[in-house]
Amino acid sequence: MGNKLSLSRRALLVAGGILGLGGSSFVYERWIKEKSRCFVARNQSYGRDLARTIQDGLLSVGFDPRSIRSKQVLLKPNLVEPTRAAPHMTTHPAILSAAIEVFKNWGARICVGEAPGHVRDSEMALRAADIAHVLLDSQTRFADLNYEPTRWSENRGHASKLKGFYFPQSVLEADLIVSMPKLKTHHWMGVTASLKNMYGVIPGSRYGWPKNVLHFNGIPETVVDINASLPPRVSIVDAIDCMEGDGPIMGSKKTMGLVAVGLDMVAVDATLCRIMGMDPSKIPYLQLVDQGVNRLSDWSIEQVGESWQSLQTPFEILKRPELQAMRLSLVT
């Protein structure tokens, strides 16, 4: 991998992304005999020692801290349209602060990056989300992914008709990207979590606000393609205060008190769907990822920490038939 990240054996298998096999057929790199691990911690709050939770979660799913020593790690929160009136819309500063602490303690070079989808003034977004003070206190660089210089990268997913993407330099230079979404419902896709959060690495200065070039080429397809074309990724999901109803912007707060961590973003999102009372096989972008591979099935995911069954609390979703059809057929 040259000067790129040398992850553990398990991490290489699940964080390496999607292999495009032509047409619309996709598989995730993995050893057939190994399950992907998903860690979920309950009874979490923004006043707890979240750094300990994140550290324990990463270690429990097989992350090797030695792999990021002196490497570049990009932390990617969700700051889509921050407002102090609705902090449940965006990644909480306490989660971000804890992740910075963990990765810095492990010797990584940290950068926080985001391209807010609905806000052109990223400095304003940082203040509204109460993230600015986290960056200042931790002396962490912020990469404004909406306006950074970009380079062309080939589309390695081939689900959409896009030939490639203009990615910001901080994205392409990262040895590891950490997707740090807020767990929310989505008015078109049903659920937004780790994979959909990667829309926020696409620069608005090239793709518009709210990145309509991607929308016009299909949200499920471009979610798959973006993730296929990025450096290795892992997930740390803020599911403490979540959003239900008319997400990802207009919904209501739903407190779950959970933090989810995993090296396989598909496994993490599938687990969170089940906790929300949603069927991961009916979420459009997860359907595309999973074609013929059974990456979403419960038996293919090893739960570490809490089981999803013990945490399941159905989220409210809009009354649209296509969204209601994404419900789990049996909620236990």
Strand (E) or helix (H) holding 55:
helix 50-60
Domain ranges of the chain: 9-14+36-324
Q: Which two tokens stand for residue 236?
A: 């740390």
Q: Which of 96, 269, 255 is nearest to 178 (CA)?
A: 96
- pLDDT of res. 5: 52
Q: Hey, what amino acid is at 15?
A: A
Q: Is the pTM of this model over 0.95?
A: no
Our CA dihedral for 323, 318, 219, 237, rounded to 10 degrees, sits at -100
DSSP letter for each residue of 282-329? GSHHHHHHTTTT--SSGGGEEEEES-HHHH--PPPB-S-HHHHTTB-S
CB 147, CB 203: distance < 8 Å: yes
CB 78, CB 124: distance < 8 Å: no
DSSP letter for each residue of 113-132? EE--SS-S-HHHHHHHTT-H
Per-residue pLDDT of the chain (332 residues), as tens digits, is 444 454 444 444 343 433 333 333 333 343 334 789 999 999 999 999 999 999 999 999 999 999 999 999 999 999 999 999 999 999 999 999 999 999 999 999 999 999 998 889 999 999 999 999 999 999 999 999 999 999 999 999 999 999 999 999 999 999 999 999 999 999 999 999 999 999 999 999 999 989 999 999 999 999 999 999 999 999 999 999 999 999 999 999 999 999 999 999 999 999 999 999 999 999 999 999 987 678 899 999 999 999 999 999 999 999 999 999 999 985 44
Kindly give, in sequence order, each residue whose CB lies less than 8 Å from that of residue 150, ignoring residues fewer than 6 positions away.
166, 167, 168, 169, 203, 206
Q: What is the CATH number of domain 9-14+36-324?
A: 3.40.50
- pLDDT of res. 291: 76
Q: Hey, what amino acid is at 232?
A: P
